[in-house]
Amino acid sequence: MENGFNDLENLNVEGKKVLLRVGMDVSVDKDGNILDDSRIVSCIPTLQHLIDRKAKLILMMHIGRPGGQVVENLKTDRVAERLSRFMFRKIDKMDGLTGDTVRERIERMEPGEMVFLDNLRFDPGEESNDDNFTEAMASLGDAYVNECFSVSHRNHSSMVGLPARLPSAAGFCLRKEVEEIGRVVENPERPFVAVLGGVKADKLNALKTLCKKADKILIGGGLSFAFLRLMGIGTGKSKIDSKWLDAGAEEFMKSTLSNEKIVLPSDFVVADEFDAESGRVVGRDSIPEDGFALDIGPETVSRFKDILGTAKTIVWAGPMGVFERKGFENGTRELAGFMANSGAVSIVGGGESASAAEKFNLADRFTHVSTGGGAFLDFLANGSLPAIDALRESALKFGKVI
């Protein structure tokens, strides 16, 4: 059992009801219209494999954070419709998760057929991993498949509860995530260079791990402002996640200021307003008190490229600036293009980094673009995730299913 869990090919699915946890948590607008269907597309090889093997597929997913309440624009109807068009087959969408109507429809399923349940997070039992909810969901199927890396860092019912109750396996996408990120975690080819950016303070544990494992860590975006403040350098009105300034985070970051692995920007592109369309280049000691640093500057881009040019392994998590606006996209675009074409093993964390790779038409040039943002960072920090551990425990409990 590669990776310690069952591969999809080892699971007996012919004529079986398979609960398939998919990672189709798409971005939607206020009316529920799908903005990006790449996560739907990524699941299709696993779906087709199971259909070809005559499984009865019960698809489960979440969208957004409805807080245990039914929210109309977060229903899964549009995802089911889009998937139906991609798969060239009818997919029945159920208005619910358990209940008599859902159960009766599943009992009538034929091999190769698919039904789509509603948003798992409409029931509070999903996020609390409630035993009663998990038992009710498990009773719908004969086996379970996880094809949702993006939520594998959560102790939710559909991620850790179901594999504890049913013979389980990893889908093709999840297996690839584990293999590609796993080789960076376990045995990266050196030099190993990490590029961290963005504003959110969700990278702290990953940063702690990278300080031990990486040869160089290039810091940009809002994360760089937290470091600069600790050095006594003013960052104006530039955005900083306040969690970076918490006592624990601040203490760790102060301890890294003398670490030669950490490389900070030397210049920035600044503007007088956050929503400006263009800016001017200043040294990092010259960010105006009432200004916003919205991208790294050309000197920093050049220096970062010099370091990346030596790398055999690259991990990228977080943009260098407000790449969504043309006047502040240069740092992210230039480094993304350089990393994608470097010849190094290049792994992109999900979230904004993946969006940037797509925007600049570079996604297919990286070794791997993860579907998970938080999951990617947690895997990088911890070497595993709760849902992956649950699959391994399921394999030990139920054995290799033939």
pLDDT digits (tens, 9 = 90+) for 338-359: 999 999 999 999 789 999 999 9
Asked if the 178-382 domain carries CATH number 3.40.1710.10, the reply is: no
Spell out the domain ranges in the chain: 2-175+384-398, 178-382
d(C-alpha 354, C-alpha 357), whole Å? 5
Tell me what pLDDT residue 241 has: 86
- Looking at 3.30.70.360, 3.40.50.1820, 3.40.50.1260, 3.40.50.1780, the CATH number of the domain 2-175+384-398 comes to 3.40.50.1260
Sheet holding 168-170: strands in order across? 92-93, 114-116, 56-60, 17-22, 143-147, 168-170
Tell me what pLDDT residue 2 has: 62
CA 367 to chain centre: 16
Which residues are tagged catalytic?
39, 200, 351, 374
Tell me what pLDDT residue 391 has: 97
Q: Is the peptide bond before 163 cis (omega within 30 degrees of 0)?
A: no
The pTM (predicted TM-score) of the whole model is 0.91
Tell me what pLDDT residue 402 has: 45
Q: Average pLDDT, whole number, for the chain? A: 93
Q: Are strands 313-317 and 192-196 parallel, antiparallel or unpaired?
A: parallel
pLDDT digits (tens, 9 = 90+) for 224-281: 999 999 899 999 999 888 888 787 888 888 888 889 999 999 999 999 999 999 999 9
Same fold yes or no, 2-175+384-398 and 178-382: yes
The SS3 of residue 17 is strand
d(C-alpha 29, C-alpha 7), whole Å? 36
2 CB-contact burial (10 Å; exposed 0-12 / middle 13-18 / buried 19+): exposed
Q: Are 338 and 193 in contact (CB under 8 A)?
A: no
Residues of the chain with pLDDT under 50: 1, 402
